[in-house]
Amino acid sequence: MTETYTPPKVWTWDNKPGVSAAALNRPVAGATHEKDLPVGQHAFQLYSLGTPNGQKASIMFEELIEAGYAADYDAWFIGIGDGDQFGSGFVDINPNSKIPALLDRSGPEPVRVFESGSILVHLAEKFGAFLPTSGKARTETFNWLMWQMGSAPFIGGGFGHFYFYAPEKIEYAINRYAMETKRLLDVADRRLAESRFLAGDDYTIADMATFGWFRGLIQGDAYGEAADFLSTQDYEHVGRWVAEIDARPGTRRGRFVNKPSGGLRERHAGTDFAALDPALLAGTAPA
């Protein structure tokens, strides 16, 4: 354990590790600079990065296209390490300065959509896909979608940060969030022992929302040695679910959108995927 820290009576923003040490971390909102966002030819303009949260939106778009819907889109890369999310154009769409953000120009007036769950619901309702329209199935889908939205901070900002990214290893914090991440995996594993997908027999936006976060932990490419540390091989039913979803062509394509390397930095047409190794899209090569 580290030495005991006594919080001051009033917190101030000065020389705090992980805060003022990195210019991107601030206790205030709003734009830091003027920067217009690029706009492509399609009705849907996605501004994102290929993180587990960002992949939710691109997977949704690619699954819609795979299912035959006219959901073509432009996906623009947002470099959060460079502060793109604090540009004035991005903040106009998402005042919270987080990816993904969507501008829907398909109607009489443009509609901004921010928060990954909101984007999934917006697109599902617009196209009538991947979200039951009524009854128990619709409620169950929202149950698991909201479960994921509330759970992600424990995995990413909690476990992932303190186990892998933090400049010092804090035993209490790692234990706290490792416990919570394993509990969440167990919640999903118990559910998937009785159900093909999270909300039932059909693939829904609840699965899209959760997939990216659990795929990396199960397949071992998230947070260094986290898969071994968390013994993720023990979650048999989550592993089965991850493998089934990862084999879907739309999901495979969506995973590679807005990746800074090893994927498509930008996506403007389905033909863009021809630039990738076919084995990646087929799932026969590690990614």
pLDDT for position 153: 93
User: At 232, which CATH number?
Assistant: 1.20.1050.10
Strands lying side by side in the sheet with 73-77: 73-77, 44-48, 101-104, 111-114
Cα separation, 215 vs 17, in Å, equals 31
Cα separation, 207 vs 211, in Å, equals 6
Where the chain has pLDDT below 70, the residues are 1-2, 15, 17-23, 284-286
Q: Same domain for 5 and 124?
A: yes
Q: Same domain for 45 and 181?
A: no
Q: Same domain for 234 and 264?
A: no
pLDDT for position 15: 65
pLDDT for position 23: 59
Q: How many whole angstroms from its chain centre is CA 117?
A: 9
pLDDT for position 24: 73
pLDDT for position 285: 67
pLDDT for position 19: 58
What range defines the domain where residue 262 resides? Answer: 1-130+256-287
Q: Same domain for 206 and 93?
A: no
Q: Same domain for 181 and 193?
A: yes
The two three-digit tokens of residue 137, written as one number: 């199935």
Tell me which amino acid residue 93 is. I
Strand (E) positions, the chain?
A: 44-48, 73-77, 101-104, 111-114
Q: Same domain for 122 and 173?
A: no
Q: Same domain for 80 and 99?
A: yes
Rounded to two decimals, the pTM is 0.95
